[in-house]
Amino acid sequence: MNERIISLRHASTSATPRISAERAVLLTRFMQSQGAREEHTPIRRALAFKYILQHKEIFIQPGELIVGERGPSPQETPTYPEICLHSLQDLEILNSREKIPFAVDDGTRHIYEEEIIPYWRGGTIRERIFTELPQAWITAYEAGIFTEFLEQRAPGHTVLDDKIYRKGMIDFIRDIDLVRDNLDHKGDQGAPERCVELQAMRYAAEAIIMFAHRHASLLDEVASHESDPLRKAELVDMAEICRHVPAHAPLTFHEALQYYWFVHLGVITELNPWDSFNPGRLDQHLLPFYTRDLAQGRIDKERARELLQAFWIKFSNHPAPPKVGVTAKESNTYTDFALINLGGVRPDGSDAVNELTYLILDVIGEMRLLQPSSMIQVSKKNPDRFILGALKIIRTGFGQPSVFNTDTLIQQMLRQGKDIVDARSGGASGCVETGAFGKEAYILTGYFNLPKVLEITLNNGTDPRTGKATGIETGDPASFTSFDDLMKAYEKQLRYFADIKIAGNHIIEKIWAQHMPVPFLSLLTDDCINNGRDYNNGGARYNTRYIQGVGLGSITDSLTALKHHVFERKTGHMKDFLEVMRKDFDGHDEFRKMLTDETPKYGNDDDRADDVLREVFEIWFRAVDGRPTASGGVHRINLLPTTCHVYFGSVTGALPDGRRAWTPLSEGISPVQGADRKGPTAVLKSAAKIDHIRTGGTLLNMKFTPSFLRNDEGLLKLMQLIRSYFRMDGHHVQFNVVTAATLKKAKKNPGQYRDLIVRVAGYSDYFVDLTDELQDEIIRRTEHGEIDVSS
Amino acid sequence: MPIKGLVFNIQRFSVHDGPGIRTTVFLKGCPLQCNWCHNPEGRKAVPEEVNGRQVGLWYDSHELMKELERDLIFYEDSGGGVTFSGGEPLSQAEFLAEMLGLCREAGIHCAVDTSGYAGKSTFRRLLGKPDLYLYDIKLMDPILHLKYTGVSNAEILDNLKYLSHCKEQVIIRIPMIPGITATLKNLEDIIRFLRGLGTITEVHLLPYHRLAEAKYRQFGVNPPVFASHEITPDEMEGYRSLFISAGFKLNLTE
């Protein structure tokens, strides 16, 4: 890192996340203006987008190479009152909560009280959703059966492909006009609606060009006051770049990065989509520009490195928009999940690793930033050197990059009916979600608490935490004569809740489609222009809605314990189980010891547990996969938790696997914390018994001791483990390389471990920013290393 | 009737007992009484109970094979396999021979981690079956060897000559016990002996660590006490350079 980058990085990481009312104020003022009288929602939204970009404060930081920010300064985060209106009390909570706070100043409070709250109250997406959803949905939501992604943040969950490197916004406008001119106004009933949507996209494209031009003018002005001739020339160049992109296709490496960045700002200013948009296959998109600039002597490798580093800092400047309520619990982090994909295969299926891949790996290792997050796509065709290069960064213990199986990603997409080239050009985003980049809306809709459903099944439909009839009556468990009876009851109960969730998804999808179109994101996603349809209304080529199962390890071990002790060994009666669970094992230490120490557990390559895992997987898969969405898409499953296993654990009582009440569930597809006792190969074998190809992503966490990876021999063995797991179709694995002892020290003395980064679940975070429960949970995860019992 | 063997541990993802990712099978029973033994629970050739925990389970060869085949995919991708250790695996020679044959059929690379203390007929019987021997040399001085391990080293050295003569793949392992095996004289003697064999190319120096001390207490035995000092990194480097300058390939430092 040179001085410039060090100082920009410092400015980014030392700033305090704070709330900015700027966007809320501009939007509210627009809504009260003449422009808002426009009767068509898409056009109103496009004009609002333009208004914000026209009036928001812009600035150039000293030394900056890539320009543009979502807020008025780094770490300043706008709000989206049209979706979720923060009350004064919410603002106070955000300001004062211990973990993941956002500073709120008096000016913001005041303007919220005077302007924002009075205007938006009663008219937000969040309020519409909670008003329109049926009571059964609310009951299940409040019980902690599932969460809802779309009550505070917009559907997004998508990643850009290579189109912006080939086309300028002027080209997109030409495409839009062409489709619009060819609309069949006589034969096509939908033509007027399409015409409106296309017009909205056109406005949005014009708005982003205007936004870049504002930066060009500001750069000229800053240049005119600049005394250092080198920086002055740089600023003049940058002004030129902002005049050229995004209006036109980029010609240089620098232009390509700046173009993407304007697009990024557009997407996250238009709304606050989940799983922050990102450039996806960056080493593929940038390669032609890199090669050409090098050949023509426009840049050298060091300049390319510096530009990439400057680009990384832009992501780092943008915390995830503030979350409150259950949403804050399920995703308790500043990280916004922009996940840069490296490696994988080219559209023709060949090895995609190139010299830029290695340069970007260097940048990741050197920058050590939480955002953007990064991953490597590993295909059987990729060289070992690529994986080892990534493992050298992983070994430094900041959880990045995570490791994905390209060959599985492609098979998953083919199973979902995607074109092979679209599949090869895709990857994973967010935590671990599979998608066809630039062509798919793959919306996460909420986490689903698999163990809680068992708790309710064992109480014949009642939630013991509240005493409320929450599910349906599936029979007194003491009357079950076989494990099969229990599984049938569990499936029936799970179906009941999955049906409620899916019915809710239909309602919510329609609310978004009707009230909150996103013309800017739409023009970037195939085939919204051709279809004349919005991203939020099924306009994309592929439309998928995911429901994410949580607590797979906990549910497997719980059902296995019942199978083993009640139905096979007869070492415990169902009544005994219900009794000791009700007491949270108090006074039943022996019984609990039998459950934790003398019961088969998932994660040990033990088919007595892993067969139950397969059954649970099938039940979950059958309940969700293939069921239609409101606008012509399909529901799919994946298995990932973010931080939701902590929240779900906090609403779930004692479980038959010996887990105490209100403690975290297992995360992702990882074994229950500490239950895996046969080492990493056994964990991988167990995890591979899940049919990863029929999911849209699974998340496996592993912890290795730093000493194991200290020498190259250890790195090599870790690579071989990954290769084997992927040969068994494993989807993803991520690594924490830090000892439990270090983590315990960090928990005790957070001040001394401010920079300790750990892998949580699909993302990295500062350890000291995690809640107590999550810190303990990570400490408890099993640590793999060298176990010397020989000689 | 498949033959049965007494096993006290099956360690998957074993990464220090031969190449690649391995599963190490620890066979119970050892004729040696090494002062510094890391696996005191491997000494007695019968199942026993330690702190309420059963140590030693009888496996028939097919059962054990099933366990070993579980990590086949990892052996393949890493160039690993199975290592038979102990205890002294050659003490259960018949079972070991059966297992080596089954592994060979299954295409699994096999290593035998031995003290070398067994009758020559045992080695003759196993000839050609293991892909690799991990062969311990502890002390060249016969008196000291007897003192610290309870047995003479004559057979051990003789068997090594025999393996060398038969061109078996052998890696020598030397436990570096401060003041006992890790002395300049002993190591120089070992080097001289190994060079005389002419077929040995690789030597692993195994650092002694105190992990096993807790185990001794579990067995109600006091842990061994050695020369007060631990081997310093500098000393270790010095010992390593002895072997390197004599032309041996060494394991990585840990």
Tens-place pLDDT, residues A74-102? 999 999 999 999 999 999 999 999 889 99
Eight-class DSSP state of A378:
E
* One-letter amino acid of A374: S
Nearest CA in chain B to A678: B12
pTM over 0.90: yes
Write down the pLDDT at residue A288. 98
Would you call A788 and B85 a contact, using CB atoms and an 8 Å cutoff?
A: no
Cβ atoms of A534 and A520 closer than 8 Å: no
The number of beta carbons lying within 10 Å of the beta carbon of residue A261 is: 22
Alpha helix stretches (DSSP H) within A551-661 = 552-562, 574-582, 589-597, 607-624, 644-650
Cβ atoms of A732 and A432 closer than 8 Å: yes
Cβ atoms of A174 and A205 closer than 8 Å: no
Would you call A724 and B78 a contact, using CB atoms and an 8 Å cutoff?
A: yes
- Residue A35: Cβ-neighbour burial (10 angstroms; 0-12, 13-18, 19+): middle
Phi and psi angles of residue B20, each rounded to the nearest 5 degrees, phi first:
70, -165
Write down the pLDDT at residue A779. 87
Residue A635's pLDDT band, with cuts at 50, 70 and 90, is very high
Q: Which residues on B lie below 8 Å from A685 (Cβ)?
A: 70-71
* From A331-340, A434-443, A446-455, the region with the lowest mean pLDDT: A331-340
Q: At what angle do helices A712-727 and A384-394 cross, to 10 degrees?
A: 120
Q: How far is B167 from chain A (nearest CA, A)?
A: 24
Residue A480 region by backbone torsions, left for phi larger than 0, else alpha for psi between -120 and 50, else beta: beta
What is the percent of chain A with per-residue pLDDT over 70, rounded to a whole number? 99
Write down the pLDDT at residue A34. 85
Q: Which residues of chain B carry a pLDDT beneath 50?
A: none
Eight-class DSSP state of A81:
T
- Measure Cα distances from A14 to A10, A68, A497 in Å: 6, 19, 44
Out of A605, A727, A786, closest to residue B77 by CB: A727
- Residue A15: Cβ-neighbour burial (10 angstroms; 0-12, 13-18, 19+): middle
Answer whether A721 touches B (CB < 8 Å): yes
Q: How far is B108 from chain A (nearest CA, A)?
A: 16
Query: Whole-angstrom Cα distance, residue A204 to residue A196?
Result: 12
Would you call B15 and A711 a contact, using CB atoms and an 8 Å cutoff?
A: no
Q: Encode pLDDT of A573-586 as tens digits.
A: 999 999 999 999 99
B99 CB-near residues (< 8 Å, 6+ apart): B5, B25, B61, B64, B65, B84, B110
Q: Encode pLDDT of B101-139 as tens digits.
A: 999 999 999 999 999 999 999 999 999 999 999 999 999
Write down the pLDDT at residue A235. 98
Query: Whole-angstrom Cα distance, residue A386 to residue A743?
Result: 29
Q: How far is A712 from chain B (nearest CA, A)?
A: 9
Write out the two tokens for A351: 């090895």
Cβ atoms of B169 and B249 closer than 8 Å: no
A596 CB-near residues (< 8 Å, 6+ apart): A657, A658, A675
Write down the pLDDT at residue A559. 98
Nearest CA in chain B to A681: B13
Query: Whole-angstrom Cα distance, residue A102 to residue A322?
Result: 7
Would you call A679 and B13 a contact, using CB atoms and an 8 Å cutoff?
A: yes
Rg (chain A; Cα; Å): 26
Write down the pLDDT at residue B253. 62
Query: Whole-angstrom Cα distance, residue B129 to residue A422?
Result: 51
What are the beta bridge partners of residue A757?
A766
From the list A780, A786, A704, the residue with the least C-alpha distance to A391 is: A704
Write down the pLDDT at residue A770. 87
Is residue A787's pLDDT more than 50?
no
Q: Which residues on A lie below 8 Å from B15 (Cβ)?
A: 708, 713-714, 717, 786
Q: Encode pLDDT of A181-204 as tens digits.
A: 999 999 999 999 999 999 999 999
Four-residue CA torsion sign, A628, A630, A632, A635: negative
Cβ atoms of B114 and B136 closer than 8 Å: yes
Answer whether A791 touches B (CB < 8 Å): yes
* One-letter amino acid of A251: L
Mean pLDDT (chain A) is: 95
Cβ atoms of A514 and A506 closer than 8 Å: no
Write down the pLDDT at residue A641. 84
Q: Which residues on A lie below 8 Å from B17 (Cβ)?
A: 790
- Strand boundaries in A344-401, DSSP class E: 373-378
Is residue A742's pLDDT more than 90?
no
Greatest distance between any 2 Cα atoms in chain B: 54
Nearest CA in chain A to B21: A717
From the list A322, A315, A217, the residue with the least C-alpha distance to A267 is: A315
Write out the two tokens for A585: 């094992």
Instruction: Give per-residue burial for A215-229: e unless 16+ CB within 10 Å, then b.
Output: bbebbbebbeebeee
Nearest CA in chain B to A709: B254
Measured CB to CB, residues of chain B less than 8 Å from chain A are 9, 11-17, 20-21, 24, 26, 38-39, 70-71, 73-74, 76-78, 80, 83, 85, 113, 136, 173, 175, 206, 209, 211, 252-254
Cβ atoms of A680 and A781 closer than 8 Å: no
| Overall average pLDDT of the A497-517 stretch | 98
Phi and psi angles of residue B85, each rounded to the nearest 5 degrees, phi first:
-130, -165
Residue whose pair of structure tokens reads 């090869």 in the numeric block: A424
Query: Whole-angstrom Cα distance, residue B168 to residue A53?
Result: 76
DSSP states of A514-555 as a string? HH---HHHHHHSTTHHHHT--GGGT-SSEEEEEEEEE-HHHH
Is residue A120's pLDDT more than 80?
yes
Query: Whole-angstrom Cα distance, residue B190 to residue B138?
Result: 9
DSSP states of A417-483 as a string? T--HHHHHT-EEETTTEEE-TTTEEEEEEEEEEHHHHHHHHHTTTEETTTTEE-S-----GGG--SH
- Measure Cα distances from A317 to A71, A303, A308 in Å: 9, 21, 15
Would you call B211 and A680 a contact, using CB atoms and an 8 Å cutoff?
A: no
Would you call A682 and B73 a contact, using CB atoms and an 8 Å cutoff?
A: no
Out of B71, B252, B254, closest to residue A681 by CB: B71
Residue A791's pLDDT band, with cuts at 50, 70 and 90, is very low
- Measure Cα distances from A652 to A144, A452, A464, A548, A588 in Å: 8, 6, 9, 17, 19
Answer whether A785 touches B (CB < 8 Å): no
Out of B12, B21, B254, closest to residue A720 by CB: B21
Length of chain B, in residues = 254
| Overall average pLDDT of the A428-437 stretch | 96
Cβ atoms of A340 and A159 closer than 8 Å: no
Write out the two tokens for A231: 């920086």
From the list B153, B219, B212, B133, the residue with the least C-alpha distance to B177 is: B212
From the list A280, A300, A39, A291, the residue with the least C-alpha distance to A164 is: A280
| Catalytic residue IDs of A | 431, 433
Cβ atoms of A764 and A398 closer than 8 Å: yes
* From A210-219, A251-260, B225-234, the region with the lowest mean pLDDT: B225-234
Write down the pLDDT at residue B212. 62
Query: Whole-angstrom Cα distance, residue A180 to residue A198?
Result: 7
Total beta-carbon pairs less than 8 A apart between chain A and chain B: 85
Write down the pLDDT at residue B225. 65
Cβ atoms of A748 and A766 closer than 8 Å: no
Cβ atoms of B112 and B144 closer than 8 Å: no
Answer whether A711 touches B (CB < 8 Å): yes
Residue whose pair of structure tokens reads 């002055």 in the numeric block: A232
Is residue A789's pLDDT more than 70?
no
- Measure Cα distances from A500 to A445, B11, B235 in Å: 13, 47, 70
Write out the two tokens for A321: 């928009």
